Structures are given as structure tokens and as C-alpha cells.
Chains A and B, each alone.
Chain A
């Protein structure tokens, strides 16, 4: 069996010997990526499509450059597009060798041109799953079991192109699909709130962030807001991820911008669609416009502070104002113009 990332035994051994102390894990983004993201790593990407994607961490990985990465996620949009775009422009600086996923695209904003470019030119190895099978793979990892049985994927082509196996259930005698655990080398997550020890509070849908955190060898978390540990301790039922699963905490307001972060900000549709348009143009032969974007927004800035500095204030403001309010209140807002 090919285990991309850690095998269940390796994953277990690593956690057994890991320093699980409750200590201050604040780091700069540069340090966190330098410490925990290596060439060849299987990266578990948090969020869902363009919701709470760990954009800032992806930008830093691109700035530092890594080779032969594996990306594992259920559904994602901007993070794989950013990483694949970086590879398309400078394959000697950053490369992705493999993706294990269910959906790569942007829903309302269309398909991923970077996925199309990479696959149609046979530049990466692909393994298709479904949203549930990928989610259950992280869950199996989080549970410390080598596989889980699920009732999806039986009888179609997806099971023919991945490592799942159909068996007859020894109890019910019916067919069932077994999916192998996924233990990423590093989980990259953005959450709304965390304390200095790494206890995380996720608001709204958790997607598969808790499962990725518990299944991964190491975990980097960015948070919109660092909160007092006392606040966590007062209401621990609201903790989505416990501190000892987390290795680096980076306080980074707008760390998932321009994707939506529940209760903090809505999408910046202007920025998202601008980048998406450049990837579409790249696939049709315009390399320079996409390269100019990377030079301006990723390579040309030192960090996320400088990236956010380049976003017009009225776009940031509108993204904040359109989040968590009813339509009636939204009608009083003036949308920014691209």
C-alpha cells in the first residue's frame, strides 16, 4: 500500500513522541512555514472551495518555494490554484507532484484553469475521490484507524482510479467501500480564533478542519483573532481543535482573504475573480499577466500585511459589511467597482 504522507504506524509513533506541552506556539508566518513545510510533504488543505481557505499560508509557501508537494483536500479553489499557478510560472521554485481531492474549482465563478492546464498537459499525478471519501480519509486519520467503511463510490469510475477497495461486509454481507486514512505531513488551516497554545474556535461550518488537524503530523494555524486562553477555558465546548494538535499559531487578520471567513468577512469577489481571470488567460497563452500578479501580490510583498495593504480599503470594507447581515441591511451598501 502506498501511503502518501504518513502511514498509520508512522503517524501514531510521531504523536507518541511529540512534545505535547501546553506552551506558547506563536510564530511568524516565515518561521512556521520554514519549520513545518518540507519538500515532498503531503499538505492537508483546510477550508472548503473558497471558504476559509488558508490563503496566507499558501502565499508564504510560494514565497519560500518547495518541491514535489502533495495536496490533499476535499474541495478547494483558491489555494490549489495559487500553488499550481506558482508551479506553472516557476516550476524550479515550487512544484506539486500529486493531488488527492474531490473537487478543484470555484463553484459560481467556474472551473479551475490551473487544474485544467496541469492535467491536460500531464504535469501532475491525480487521484480522484469524493467529498465524503476525502473527508472520511481525514476522519480515519483523526480516529487512528487505517481505514473507514463508507457507502459511497460503489459501482462508478472513481473507485477505479484511487486506492479504495470494495469488500463484502463480514456482518451484513453487502458490498462496502473501504477508504484508507490520510495523514498529511502538515495541515494548513485558517480559523477565526485561537489562543497562544493552539486551541482553536471555528465559527460556522467546521468543514474538515478538525479532522485534518487531528490526522496531520504537524499543523499550522492562522487566526483572524488571537484570544485570551481564559476565554477558551470559560467555554471549552466551543473549542474545535485542542492545543496539542497544533504546532504553530500565527495571528493574521484577513488570513483567508479573499475567500469567505464566517462572521468575519465575505468573499472579495473583485479580487477573486481578477485572479481567476488571469488563470483563465494563462491557460489560453497569456503568461505575463499572471506572472505580473504573482510579482505584485506574492513575490513582491514580504508578508500578508503587505498583501492586504494592496487591497483597496473599499473592497475590504465591503467584504466585512456583507458578511452576516440580512438582505435588507445589505441593500444600503454600495458595492465597490472593479
Chain B
């Protein structure tokens, strides 16, 4: 019988959910922040053989110098197996060595396309956006060439939109059959979306977002209420188990003791 925690933050729930979705011995392209915490948690629990790769060049490190603040941080190289640069890391994604990539964005649409470039009218106001976001970084590349991607987005009405203002990272495009393949892409696209409200997947036929599980305390209705498009609901929708006391202990005491990314 698992001993579940009763006191945990939304960030800790996301990290736990991300970690539990990861299969052992897979190669994971890690972004800054919560994904890094999730990968480390998975390594300490269900996935001791998980191999992190950082886009700035480090392959297979063990993060024993503390959580990196950047994917180019020297800490990402700790006990690494191989270190080169960005070209080398993205060549790995193209070659098929990267099983899963974690990506995020400011906006997401029903097909898992993401915007991390700009808020405003595109293309008319590309040079004068209402809000300029940092840009793709490696997310656009990961969305194309990692075998699968897992998307982590804050679950808010203004972020879950039917139509993006700009498409930075490519999901299932317009949802049409073989859309990604026809575009020239190799990776299979988004597999899961993890938020503070739900774990979602994509319908096999329509490629639209589908609720697989609700996070503790949430319902299908409460998730739909903060989503700007109609979500499909899986026939076997279930309530996701909260973090265990052990998972919370690992996050707080071992992985992120100074709360760089995982606020309590």
C-alpha cells in the first residue's frame, strides 16, 4: 500500500506525473526547470537507467553537482559520457537516438502545437508583437525530431487555445492523417500533455487532445472549464494518484532542496 503525501505543491504534482510516465533505459532530451526535476526523480525511482541528454552538448550525465539552472550549465556535464556541442546534440535527435523530449510553451492548441515566440498578430505584427517571448530555443527542433514529446504547460484558459498566435513547436499540425510525415518530419510528435489539472494524450484518429486522467481534486468538468477548446475524454478516464511521501521526500531533500524549480 503506497503511503500518499497530503501536502504537495502543483509543481511537485507535475514533476511526479512526468517522472512516472518515463520508461526505464530511454534517452530523454531534458529542458530547464521541472523536466529536469522529473527526470532526476524518475532516475531515483522507476527509471534508474534513464539517460538524460542536454541540448547544449552533454550526454548521459549524473546530476550530482546540484540542479543545473540552464541546459548549458556546467552542472549538466557532471559524470557525463560524452560532451560536444549543439550541432552534435541535435544530430542525435535527427538520427533517432532521442526517445523523448520535454517541451513547453506559452500557448498550446488541441493538436499539441506550441507557441513560445510571440503574442500578437502573426505575420502582420511579427516585428511589433504585443508580448515578445524568448523564442524557440531547441524546442522547435525537439518537436520535429525526438521520437515522442511530452508537453508541460500551465493549465489556464488563455494558454489552451483553439488557434495559436504563432506556431513555434510542431505537434500534430492540423490533425490530418500523416500530416507530420507529409511535412517531412520524422518524430511521432506529442504523446502526453502534463498540467496541474490533468494528464492528457491525443486521439488516434483525430489527433485532438484527450483527457486520460485528472489530477487529484480535479474532475473532467473542472479541467474542461480551464481549457479554451473541447477536450475529448478517454473511456477509461481515472484519477491520477497523488505523489507518494517518498516521491515528495526525494524532490524536497535530494533533488531540489533549495527550491530552484519546485516551489512548495
- Give me the interface of A with B, judged by CB distance under 8 Å: 47-51, 74-75, 101-105, 107-109, 111-112, 115-116, 119-122, 125-126, 128-133, 135-136, 139, 150-158, 160-161, 166, 174-177, 204-211, 260-263, 266-267, 269, 323-327, 330
Checking B84, B118, B134 against A205 with a beta-carbon cut-off of 8 angstroms, the contacting residue is B84
Q: Cα distance A87–B229 when bound, in Å?
A: 42
Checking B87, B134, B167, B169 against A132 with a beta-carbon cut-off of 8 angstroms, the contacting residue is B87
User: At the interface, yes or no: B21 with Cβ under 8 Å from chain A?
Assistant: no
* A and B contact pairs by CB, cutoff 8 A, 8 listed: A153-B141, A155-B170, A156-B143, A175-B183, A176-B184, A205-B56, A205-B58, A260-B74
In the assembled complex, how far is the CB of residue B161 from the closest CB belonging to chain A, in whole angstroms? 15
In the assembled complex, how far is the CB of residue B6 from the closest CB belonging to chain A, in whole angstroms? 28
- The A/B interface has a contact count, at CB < 8 Å, of 212
In the assembled complex, how far is the CB of residue B206 from the closest CB belonging to chain A, in whole angstroms? 18
Residues on B with C-beta less than 8 A from A267 are 69
Q: Cα distance A303–B161 when bound, in Å?
A: 50
With A75-B137, A102-B137, A327-B66 known as contacts, the answer to whether A128 contacts B73 (CB < 8 A) is: no
Q: Which 10 A-B pairs have the closest CB atoms?
A: A175-B184, A205-B57, A105-B134, A103-B137, A48-B72, A155-B183, A132-B90, A206-B85, A51-B72, A130-B140
In the assembled complex, how far is the CB of residue A27 from the closest CB belonging to chain B, in whole angstroms? 26
Main secondary structure of the interface of B (DSSP, over half): loop
Q: Tell whether, in the assembled complex, residue B144 and residue A152 are in contact, meaning their CB atoms are under 8 Å apart.
A: yes
Q: Cα distance A135–B85 when bound, in Å?
A: 9
Residues on B with C-beta less than 8 A from A139 are 87
Residues on A with C-beta less than 8 A from B122 are 157, 161
In the assembled complex, how far is the CB of residue B27 from the closest CB belonging to chain A, in whole angstroms? 17
Q: Tell whether, in the assembled complex, residue B56 and residue A48 are in contact, meaning their CB atoms are under 8 Å apart.
A: yes
Contact with A along B73-105 (1 / 0, CB 8 A): 110111000011111001001100000000000
Residues on B with C-beta less than 8 A from A151 are 94, 144-145, 184-186
Nearest A residue to B145, CB-CB: A151
Q: Tell whether, in the assembled complex, residue B170 and residue A156 are in contact, meaning their CB atoms are under 8 Å apart.
A: yes
B residues 17-72 near A (Cβ < 8 Å) are 32-33, 54-58, 64-66, 69-72
Q: Tell whether, in the assembled complex, residue A205 and residue B77 are in contact, meaning their CB atoms are under 8 Å apart.
A: yes
Nearest B residue to A204, CB-CB: B77
With A48-B86, A156-B169 known as contacts, the answer to whether A204 contacts B74 (CB < 8 A) is: yes
In the assembled complex, how far is the CB of residue B50 from the closest CB belonging to chain A, in whole angstroms? 19
Q: Tell whether, in the assembled complex, residue B70 and residue A49 are in contact, meaning their CB atoms are under 8 Å apart.
A: yes
In the assembled complex, how far is the CB of residue B116 from the closest CB belonging to chain A, in whole angstroms? 9
Q: Tell whether, in the assembled complex, residue A119 and residue B173 are in contact, meaning their CB atoms are under 8 Å apart.
A: no
Q: Cα distance A224–B15 when bound, in Å?
A: 38
Q: Cα distance A108–B71 when bound, in Å?
A: 10
